[in-house]
Amino acid sequence: MRYFETEIAVSYQYKGERKESRTILSDYLIDTTEDISTIKKRPAIIICPGGGYAFRSRREAEPVALKYLAAGFHAFILEYSVAPAKWPCAMLELAKAVQTVREHAQEWNIDENKIIVSGFSAGGHLAASLGTLWNESIVEESLGTNTVNGKKLWKPDGMILCYPVITMGKYTHEGSKKNLLGEGLTQEEYDALSLELRVSKDTVPAFFWHTQEDGSVPVENTLQYAMAMRSFSIPFEIHIYEKGGHGLSLCDELTSHGPEQLVPDNTGWLDLAVKWMKRL
């Protein structure tokens, strides 16, 4: 395995203000060896930890990346900007991260048609934002118009969404909503980031998992988004587990900081996600 860090820098104009950000993409790459000749290129997954857009959970970062690495995927962790940074900063950083990974596909032995964004909780909202809004004009204005084989370099090929924040409506996570957008906006402005309302034919395929007991980010976030995708015939796979609260990460001892996050029946979600990515 090789580990290194790549700088992610974006510059953009929003509501009349020019803004810039710099952050880090942590890169975990599987070495190419002569005695494994059947695998020419590997899929890549870019992980966005949760944290209500206030911080980035370490429990949903490296332990998850190493699991994907062991399953044969190159893994990346984006240290995306959180409050006081507001939308669209983090989404543009994720778009730049996807573009960076695709630009280095040859060098890093990556399948340029299997670059997946994944997120937990608020990180799920971030991943779903790019998967839904990748063709918004603000992304192209920030990153340019570069394409490969007719595909915009920052367009992800799929999403893995783990108990994601999706809506800014009735079932929202208020902390994420406030940290991402601030207070005092019009309903129309909040609706613009209520992703179940923004699904279109351009939204990318998704794998979801959630628990029906989640008291912080209600399962309706996942259900409403999946139903919106269904209305556009966009492929998705969804798993709703009966037990477990919010922020479960891997659901085992590796990422638990208390017994409430040990939910053995849910630990299979990552194996299911891996199978889904291989079919994508």
Instruction: Report which DSSP code applies to 40.
Output: -
Is residue 35 very low, low, confident or very high in pLDDT (cuts 50, 70, 90)?
Answer: low
| Model pLDDT, residue 226 | 98
pLDDT digits (tens, 9 = 90+) for 221-237: 999 999 999 999 999 99
Domains of the chain: 2-279 (3.40.50.1820)
**What band does 38 get if pLDDT is binned at 50, 70 and 90?**
low
Closest CA to 22 of 64, 78, 103: 78
Average pLDDT of the segment spanning 266-280: 96
Question: Phi/psi at 159 (nearest 5 deg)?
Answer: -135, 140
Phi, psi of 210 (to 5 degrees): -155, 170
**Which of these, 18, 13, 68, 14, lies nearest to 45 by C-alpha position?**
68
Identify the band that residue 40 occupies on the pLDDT scale cut at 50, 70 and 90. confident
CB 97 within 8 A of CB 25: yes
State mean pLDDT over 185-205. 96
**Residue 193: band (very low, low, confident or very high) from pLDDT cuts 50, 70, 90:** very high
For residue 37, is pLDDT > 80? Answer: no
Distance CA 140, CA 271 (A): 34
Q: Look at the block and give the residue holding tokens 């991943």.
A: 127
147 has a pLDDT exceeding 80: no
Least confident of 212-221, 250-259, 261-270: 250-259
Has residue 199 got a pLDDT over 80?
Answer: yes
Dihedral (Cα; 190, 191, 196, 200), 10-degree rounding: -130
> How far, in Å, CA of 222 to CA of 237, rounded?
11
92-144, pLDDT tens digit by residue? Answer: 999 999 999 999 999 999 999 999 999 999 999 999 999 999 999 999 999 98
CA atoms within 13 A on the CB side of 15: 6
Split at pLDDT 50, 70, 90, the class of 258 is confident
Band of residue 148 on the pLDDT scale cut at 50, 70, 90: confident
Where b means 16+ CB within 10 Å and e means fewer, 193-206 reads: bbbbbbbeeebbbb
Tell whether the torsion through CA atoms of 86, 132, 61 and 97 is positive or negative: negative
Angstrom distance (rounded) from CA 205 to CA 213: 25
Mean of per-residue pLDDT scores for the chain: 95
Model pLDDT, residue 145: 77
